[in-house]
């Protein structure tokens, strides 16, 4: 008899939860109800993370890096790779450089996971995770899109990869980083499927530094560095509007060109 009451109570609770969830989907549940609820159990979140780590997709393809003077069309070119079945396409601007994103990182091997993580981790990923992804630009009003890449999960994958692989070169560290990035990105629709040939990414200015180009070529002898050369007239008009302080004076703009 006690068992029957428990089943009835459980069924009633399930029905109530189902009705609440339906109200959420319909947008009829007040925001304060969502904010006050724990929407996923801690043990389920932990299981989700461990499942992802248990069934990782290794990323070790060469890097196709797009880099040139700002306002030359690099963002547009990089977006052409989005969703390509043979590419792991990095969204936004790559920020693994050190001490800034326009400088190719120098990774000391041997080294520590903490040291490498501090250099490579992209702080924009945290902002995108918390606030959603939004492309910056001259025009406002772009919608923010969900970006489900939890930094703590990415770091856990990164450290697990370093423990399970032989790390003999900076390229090995970078492969671990890319594996952590694309596998921790839980709503990445292009992780599985076709055999991948490239990791693609974009960062402006890096190709303007000889040492950074040399560092990239050393770590990725099988990689590819692509630069867009825009018509100088339209480039100057765009660059000057984007940053009058930096590109307003013609002589200053010509240094970038």
Same domain, 55 and 135: yes
Same domain, 29 and 106: no
pLDDT tens digits, one per residue of 190-218: 998 889 999 999 999 898 899 999 999 99
Q: Which of 20-34, 130-144, 188-202 has the lowest mean pLDDT?
A: 20-34
Same domain, 166 and 63: yes
Domain count, the chain: 2
In a domain, 165, yes or no: yes
Same domain, 103 and 212: yes
Q: What percent of the chain has pLDDT over 70?
A: 79
CA angle 102, 108, 114 (to 5 degrees): 85
Determine the average pLDDT of the residues in 120-131.
92
Same domain, 113 and 136: yes
Same domain, 10 and 72: no
pLDDT at 185 over 90: yes
In a domain, 253, yes or no: no
Question: Rounded to whole angstroms, how far apart are CA atoms 81 and 157?
Answer: 25
Same domain, 93 and 8: no
Same domain, 30 and 119: no
Same domain, 32 and 123: no
CA angle 243, 247, 252 (to 5 degrees): 155
In a domain, 59, yes or no: yes
Alpha helices in 27-112 (DSSP H): 31-35, 42-54, 74-79
Higher pLDDT, 11 or 71: 71
pLDDT tens digits, one per residue of 50-75: 999 999 999 999 999 999 887 777 88
pLDDT at 18: 52
What global pTM score does this model have? Answer: 0.79
Token pair 């939004």 in the structure block, residue: 134
Same domain, 14 and 76: no
In a domain, 231, yes or no: no
For residue 214, which of 76, 85, 106, 81 has the smallest C-alpha distance? 106
Burial degree of 229 (CB within 10 A; 0-12, 13-18, 19+)? exposed
In a domain, 250, yes or no: no
At 157, is the pLDDT very low, low, confident or very high (cuts 50, 70, 90)? very high
Question: Looking at residue 89, what DSSP letter applies?
Answer: E
Same domain, 74 and 158: yes
In a domain, 238, yes or no: no
Q: Which domain holds residue 110?
A: 49-226
Instruction: Give me the sheet containing 87-89, strands edge to edge.
Output: 87-89, 198-202, 63-66, 224-226
Same domain, 57 and 169: yes
């Amino acid at each position: 008899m006690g068992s029957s009451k428990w089943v009835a109570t459980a069924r009633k609770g399930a029905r109530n939860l189902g009705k609440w969830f339906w109200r959420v989907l319909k947008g009829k549940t007040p925001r304060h109800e969502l904010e006050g609820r724990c929407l996923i159990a801690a043990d389920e979140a932990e299981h989700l993370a461990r499942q992802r780590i248990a069934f990782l997709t290794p990323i070790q393809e060469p890097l196709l890096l797009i880099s040139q003077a700002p306002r030359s069309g690099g963002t547009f070119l990089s977006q052409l790779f989005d969703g390509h079945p043979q590419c792991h396409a990095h969204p936004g601007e790559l920020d693994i450089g050190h001490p800034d994103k326009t400088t190719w990182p120098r990774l000391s091997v041997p080294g520590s996971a903490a040291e490498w993580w501090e250099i490579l981790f992209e702080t924009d990923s945290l902002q995108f995770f918390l606030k959603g992804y939004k492309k910056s630009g001259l025009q406002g009003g772009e919608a923010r899109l969900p970006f489900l890449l939890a930094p703590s999960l990415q770091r856990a994958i990164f450290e697990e990869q370093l423990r399970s692989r032989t790390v003999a070169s900076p390229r090995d560290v970078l492969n671990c980083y890319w594996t952590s990035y694309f596998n921790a990105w839980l709503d990445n629709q292009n992780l599985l499927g076709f055999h991948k040939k490239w990791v693609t990414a974009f960062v402006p200015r890096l190709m303007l530094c000889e040492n950074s180009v040399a560092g990239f070529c050393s770590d990725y002898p099988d990689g590819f560095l692509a630069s867009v050369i825009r018509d100088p007239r339209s480039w100057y008009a765009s660059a000057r509007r984007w940053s009058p302080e930096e590109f307003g004076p013609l002589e200053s703009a010509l240094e970038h060109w």
